[in-house]
A and B are shown apart, each in its own frame.
Chain A
Amino acid sequence: DAKTTQPPSMDCAEGRAANLPCNHSTISGNEYVYWYRQIHSQGPQYIIHGLKNNETNEMASLIITEDRKSSTLILPHATLRDTAVYYCIVRAGLTGANSKLTFGKGITLSVRP
């Protein structure tokens, strides 16, 4: 699987949009971009994934650049409960048993009041 690069940390004010960047310059055509987050001492929580089109769900939006070498996760109105480690993962588009989810170091998002 291609590697990802994320800044180690960032913060944002409560109520503002949080834009979390991820670089994946070696991504190949059949690899998806997945985002998970992990709130302290809990299990990772799935947020969103995409291949090449922008995606939106009730939690977040995922913007993937046209060359697919980077992406941004957007939390539109960050709350204190969004403070967590956010993992950007590039993963081959295969069935579960053949497609490993390899976590990097992630980015720690701190939402301040």
Chain B
Amino acid sequence: DTEVTQTPKHLVMGMTNKKSLKCEQHMGHRAMYWYKQKAKKPPELMFVYSYEKLSINESVPSRFSPECPNSSLLNLHLHALQPEDSALYLCASSQEARRFGTDTQYFGPGTRLTVL
């Protein structure tokens, strides 16, 4: 099973709202990722967690706050977003294998976020 689940599927929020995106995997993977995908563009990496610790932040604005409460869960907390933050937010996970080149990422279906 290579399933990554994301909730909600769709989210509409105002610029003053606080909301959270949730991602879950039960494959025993120890690396988890957030990507952002604007319309007609490829996905862009935002954050990487390895063994529940943040290892990569791709200079993402602080209005996006990731959290990894345990090895199966990844959250993205949203606050004071702008309309240009509207996008598909994708979560992925990988084994974080210690062997060379075998760390394949598996993606969830994404959350379609609209900021009004």
Contacts and interface: CB of A to CB of B under 8 A. Distances in A.
Interface of A: 30, 32, 34, 41-46, 49, 51, 87, 91-106
Contacts of A98: 55
B44 A97 contact: no
B95 interface: yes
A18 B96 CA distance: 32
Contact of B42 (A46, A94, A105): A105
Nearest to A48: B104
Chain A at the B interface: mostly helix, strand, loop or mixed? loop
27 contacts: A30-B100, A42-B109, A42-B110, A43-B92, A43-B108, A43-B110, A44-B43, A44-B90, A87-B42, A93-B101, A94-B101, A96-B95, A96-B97, A96-B103, A96-B105, A97-B49, A99-B103, A100-B45, A100-B56, A101-B45, A101-B92, A102-B45, A103-B42, A103-B43, A103-B44, A104-B42, A106-B42
Listed residue (A34, A96, A103) with the most chain B CB atoms within 10 angstroms of its CB: A96
A32 to B, nearest CB: 5
Contacts of A44: 43, 90, 92, 107
B31 to A, nearest CB: 4
- The 3 A-B pairs with the shortest beta carbon distances in the complex, nearest first, are A93-B101, A97-B50, A103-B42
Contacts of B96: 95-97
A81 to B, nearest CB: 16
Contact of A95 (B4, B88, B97): B97
A22 to B, nearest CB: 14
B42 to A, nearest CB: 4
Contacts of A34: 104
A94 B98 CA distance: 8
Given A30-B101, A42-B110, A96 B94 contact: yes
